[in-house]
Structure 1
Amino acid sequence: MPISRRHFSHRLVQWGAAASLASPWLARAADAPLRWVVPYPAGGAADQITRIVAQDVGQSSGQPIVIENKAGAAGMIAAETALRAPADGLTFFVGSNAPLVINSAIYAKMSYDPVRDFVPVAGLGKAPLLLVTRKDLGANDLPALITLAQQAQRQGKTLSMGSAGSGNITHLAGEYASERMGFQVTHVPFSGSAPAITSMMGGNVDIMFDALPSCMQQAIGGRIVPLAILDKQRFAALPQVPTLAELGFGDTDASAWFGLVARIGAPADAVARMAQAVNQSLAKPEVQERLRRIGAQPIAASTAEWGQFMASERERWIPVAKKLGIRAD
Structure 2
Amino acid sequence: MERIKVTSPATSANLGPGYDIFGLALSEPYDTITLSRSKEGISISLKGKGAEKIPTDVDRNTAGVVAREMIKDFNIEEGVKIEIEKGIRPGSGLGSSAASSAGVAFAMNELFNLNLSKLELVKYASLGESISAGFPHADNVAPAIYGGFTMVINYDPLEVLHIPVDFEVVVALPDIEVSTKKAREILPDSVPLRSMVNNVGKACGMIYSLFKDDVELFGRCMMGDKIVEPYRSQLIPGYSEVKEEVRDLVYGITISGSGPGVIIVPKEGEVSKIKEILNEVWGCPVYHTKVGSGVQILERD
> Normalised by the size of structure 1, how large is the TM-score?
0.25
Q: Please identify which structure carries the higher strand content.
A: 2
> Normalised by the size of structure 2, how large is the TM-score?
0.26
